[in-house]
Chain A
Amino acid sequence: MPEASAVASRVPPSKALRGRINAVGAAVFVLGLGVWELAVRTGLLDFAYLPPPSDVVVGLGELIETGQLQGALAHTLFVALSGWALAGLLGVAAGSVLGLVRPVWRYSMASLEALRALPIVAFVPVAVLLYGFSARMEIVVACYAALWPILLNTISGMRTEQRLIEVGAVLRLSRPAVLWKIRLPAATAQIVVGLRLGLSISLVLTLVAEMVGNPAGLGFLLVDKAEALQPAQMFAGVFVVGVAGIVLNALLMVAARLAFRGQLNAAGEGG
C-alpha cells in the first residue's frame, strides 16, 4: 500500500528497538534458568525425569544432529501455517459476508454459537475418524481451530461506523469500492487481532492432533520422547514449541505492520 511508506514512525528506530528488547525481562528469564539448574543439581527439586537446563541443551543438540527436530518442526509448521492460511481466507471471506449481509447473519448466528460452544479439542477424534492419521487431518483441525477467532473478529470488524458508510454514499462510491476502500480497511486492525489469535490456536491444535492422531511433527516428538524416557530431548522439544509460537507471532506482526501501516497506526497498534 502506498501509505505504508508515507510517514516515518512516530518513535525513532533506536528507541523503538530498545523498547522492544526487554532487558529486565531477559535477565529474570536467565535467572530463572540458573535457579532451575541449581535446584536440580543440588537435589532440591527431586523428580525422576526432570533434567537441568544444561541437559536440555544437550538434548536439543542430539535432536538437531539426528535431524529429528528439523523434520518434526518443518512438518508442524507446514501444517499449522496451512491450516491457519486456509482459515484466514475462509474466515475473512465468510466473516465479511456475515458482517455485511444481515439476513445471512441472522439465520446462521445460532448455529455458529452452538458450534463455537463445542470445545475444539472434541473435534479432533472426529477429524481422525473422517480423515485418518494424515497431515490432511491435522490441517483440517488446525484450520477449524483458527477459523473461530478470525471469523468472529472479522464479523465484528465489519460493523463499520455509520458515519464512514455515509461518507462513502455521499461521495458516490460503488458498493465494491465501499467494501474495499472503507469497510475492509476499517476492519483491518481487528482482523489482524483475529489472525494472531488464530495462529497461536492453530499451532496448539496441530500439536494436539499430532499427539493423539497423526504420528508426526513436534507433537508426536514430545509424546514419543516422553515414552522413550528421554526427558532432556522432550524438554528440548517443549522449548522449540515455545520459541516457534513466539517467532510466528512476531513475524505476523511485522508483516501486518508492513502491509497495513496506516490502518494499524490509526487503531493505535502501530509500531
Chain B
Amino acid sequence: MTRSSEPTGHGTGSAAGTDSPGATNGTDGTDSISCEGVGVTLSGSSGALDVLGGVDISVARGEFVSILGTSGSGKTTLLRVLGGLLPATTGTVRCHGSVVTGPADGVVTVFQDYVHSLLPWRTVRRNVGLGIEAGCDRAERDERVDEALIMVGLRQRADEYPWRLSGGMQQRVQIARALATRPRVLLMDEPFGALDAMTKASLQDQLQQVQELTATTVVFVTHDVEEAVYLSDRVLVLDGSPAAIGLALDIPLERPRHQVTTKESADYLRLRHRVYEALGHDIGERARLGEHDHA
C-alpha cells in the first residue's frame, strides 16, 4: 500500500460524532468538492516523482464525476488528496467552502481493497455501524445501519462475518458503511475493479439507484471506460506526467440508465469513442517517450 501519507496525523481534530443529519443535498450551483492547482510529489525509491501537477477539478453537489486514467496515472493519489488522506504538495482542496487538511466531515472514501478495509472481527452490522457509533444512540444507529444495508441489499446477511461473504458482498458492506454516515460526498477508488463482470454490472446499477435516492456527490475513480461513461454525469481523463486533467467530457445520457439499452444507444457509443480516443492518444505518446528513453 501507499505508505507516504499520514492519515491520522494532520488536520481537523477528528472529533467523533460529527455526522450531519439532513445534510442539504441537491444541486444549488455551489461546489461540493473542488481542487485548484493541485500538485503532488512523492518520494519513491528512485528519487522524487511528480505524480500530479496543476489539477483543477470542481464537482457540483449531487454530481457523479468519474476520474479515468491508465494504471499508474495518479488516480488513487488524486482521490487520496481529495479525501484528505494525503496532503497536496501544491494547491488547495476545498470541500463545501472550507480548505481540506484531513478527512473532512461528510466525505467518505471507499477503498478498492474491501478485504483489508473491513474489520474481520466485526459482523456486517457492526462494520456498517463503525462510523456512527459515537454520534448516534443505539436506536438511531440500528435504524441507519438497517437503512444502509437495505440500500445495498444485504439486510439478510447482517449478522454474518464479512469474510464469509463473496467479494461483491464485501464491497457492498463497505459502501453501506459509508452510506450509514449519510455522506455528502462519496469518494470511490476503483470500487468494482476486483470484481467479475456480472457482479460489477449489478453493483453499478445499485450505486446508480443509491445515488439517485440520496443525491450524494460521487467522485468515482476507474480505469474502465465503459463504467465511467455509463455511470457519470461527467468524465475526467487524467493525462500526462505529471498528470493533469486532459479531457473533461459531459455525459448527457438520460437517467436512469440501463446496462443494455443505454450501452446500445448511439450517444453512449459516441461518448465512449471520444474517451477511448483521449486515452489511446495518451498511450501512444507514452510509448514514444519510452523509445526516447531507450535511445
Contacts and interface: CB of A to CB of B under 8 A. Distances in A.
A164 B108 contact: no
Contact of A2 (B102, B126, B131, B177): B126
Given A2-B126, A7-B159, A171-B177, 13 more contacts: A3-B123, A6-B161, A161-B1, A166-B7, A167-B117, A169-B7, A169-B85, A171-B130, A172-B18, A172-B131, A173-B14, A174-B16, A188-B121
A20 interface: no
Given A169-B14, A172-B14, A262-B161, A163 B119 contact: no
B271 to A, nearest CB: 32
A60 B60 CA distance: 82
Interface string B1-35: 10100011000101110100000000000000000
Contacts of B18: 172
B126 A161 contact: no
A265 B85 contact: no
Scoring A170, A185, A186, A266 by chain B CB atoms within 10 A of each residue's CB, the highest score goes to A170
A164 B8 contact: no
Nearest to B83: A170
B114 to A, nearest CB: 10
Is the interface on chain B under 10, 10 to 19, 20 to 34, or 35 or more residues?
35 or more
B121 A185 contact: yes
Interface of A: 2-3, 6-7, 161-175, 177-178, 181-182, 185-186, 188, 260, 262-263, 265-267
How would you classify the secondary structure of chain A's contact residues: helix, strand, loop or mixed? helix
B181 to A, nearest CB: 7
A265 B119 CA distance: 12
A161 B131 contact: no
A171 B7 contact: no
A171 to B, nearest CB: 4
Contacts of A185: 119, 121-122
Contacts of B105: 172
Given A161-B116, A163-B116, A265-B161, A172 B121 contact: no
A188 B122 CA distance: 13
Contact of B122 (A3, A172, A175, A177): A3
A171 B187 CA distance: 12
B3 A175 contact: no
